[in-house]
Structure 1
Amino acid sequence: MSLVLMVRSFLLDGVFGLVFGYLYWRKGIEYAMFSHRTAHISMQLLFIPLFY
């Protein structure tokens, strides 16, 4: 695992964690869960066709 990959992972996870945490804090668990699920589905639909 390279340093660049580790920094990229921490930054991306941190940014999305802050976004979902903000949604939880301001709107509630339902909005945070829905946006988290939507992010996973959109990433799967985007990246599976690109790499397979």
Structure 2
Amino acid sequence: MGIQAIYIYALPEDKLIKHYKTMGFHRLDPEDEQFVHQHIKPKYDEGCVFMYQLL
């Protein structure tokens, strides 16, 4: 067994988003990101940006 993906909720700061991108994380397209915000993201991560990395 192993992991196939890692996901995070990053603070919406350009410098931080850029840093995560250099580490291999990606953002979803706007439509998919909206779906995550409405159905999956916990309320305590309100305002954060969903990012993922496939391994």
User: TM-score, normalising length from structure 2?
Assistant: 0.29
The answer to which structure, 1 or 2, has the higher relative contact order (CA under 8 A, 6+ apart) is 2
Larger radius of gyration between Structure 1 and Structure 2: 1
Higher share of residues assigned strand: 2
Structure 1 length-normalised TM: 0.30
